[in-house]
Amino acid sequence: MSSEPMPSTSRRNVLVTGASRGIGRAVAHAFAAAGDRVAIHHRASAELAGTLRGELPGDGHAVVQADLTDPEAVRAMVDTAAAELGGLDVLVNNAGVFLAHPVTATSYEQWQQLWRHTLDLNLVAAANATWCAVRHMNAGARIINVSSRGAFRGEPDSPAYGASKAGLNALSQSLAVALAPHGIAVAAVAPGFVETDMTNEHLKPPRGDEIRAQSPFGRVARPDEIAEAVLWLASPAAEWASGTIIDLNGASYLR
């Protein structure tokens, strides 16, 4: 880490995890449209990631691969992204998984497996990526974590998901304090339902109508709406928002 701030007008180097689809894809588009270089992380979606790289405006973008549940793969992926981009100014921890495992309808073996996998990917992987990314960051850098409304209201059928996102919020706020002396701001966004591949099945009738009715707007979010909030939190103007968790749920859950 360096105490020298990056120039506010410079082209930033941005790593987005889980960027081949959904919110991550929209986030990659938003940063590229702002003139930044983007490293598109994927686990097993090389074709989608390559297509996205070809779609992004500007040049210098990269595709990086890793199973984020493997700590050494995370380290190698972050180091590769920094090398290919020429540094690292922004990390967006977006990759995650949402798996159903109701406590009364899941075997003990499945319960253990799903808790371990969800926490490893949604929380521990973000912590590891952050540790690795900080080694490449200077003052003015940003870390944005994609949390969830479920961290606050709970997820009865997917309790590990809700717990992992609550942990991600706590991680964000802990590191906001720890990294402020280095000039690095950390914040999070907490969306409700968003139109993505991960939520596609949930948004089909009849449950989809019930989900959309949770918001007084009568709809769920678009990925680009989440991306715009991430883009702002990563901006030089948002340093004072460090430690913030922005609710993006269309007033479907108020706290």
- The conformation of residue 108, written as its DSSP 8-state character, comes to H
In a domain, 142, yes or no: yes
- Domain limits at 74? 13-248
**Residue range 17-43, pLDDT digits in tens:** 999 999 999 999 999 999 999 999 999
Residue that is written with structure tokens 């269309």 in the block: 250
pTM score, whole prediction: 0.94
Of 234, 199, 5, nearest in space to 99 by CA: 199
**Residue range 239-255, pLDDT digits in tens:** 999 999 999 999 999 99
103, 118, 130, 150, 219 from 158: Cα distances, Å: 9, 10, 25, 9, 22
In a domain, 6, yes or no: no
- Exactly one of 31, 115, 161, 193 is catalytic; which is it? 161
Lowest mean pLDDT among 5-9, 89-93, 143-147: 5-9
pLDDT on residue 1:
65
In a domain, 220, yes or no: yes
Within a 10 A sphere around the Cβ of 82, how many other Cβ atoms? 22
The answer to whether residues 78 and 136 touch, using CB atoms and an 8 Å cutoff, is: yes
pLDDT at 180 over 50: yes
pLDDT on residue 3:
47
pLDDT on residue 51:
98
DSSP string computed for 9-30 = TSPPEEEETT-SSHHHHHHHHH
pLDDT on residue 8:
45
In a domain, 255, yes or no: no
Query: Which CATH number do you get for residue 71?
Result: 3.40.50.720
In a domain, 109, yes or no: yes
pLDDT on residue 205:
84
108 an active-site residue? no
Of 213, 191, 139, nearest in space to 24 by CA: 191
In a domain, 222, yes or no: yes
In a domain, 4, yes or no: no
* Count of structural domains, the chain: 1
In a domain, 5, yes or no: no
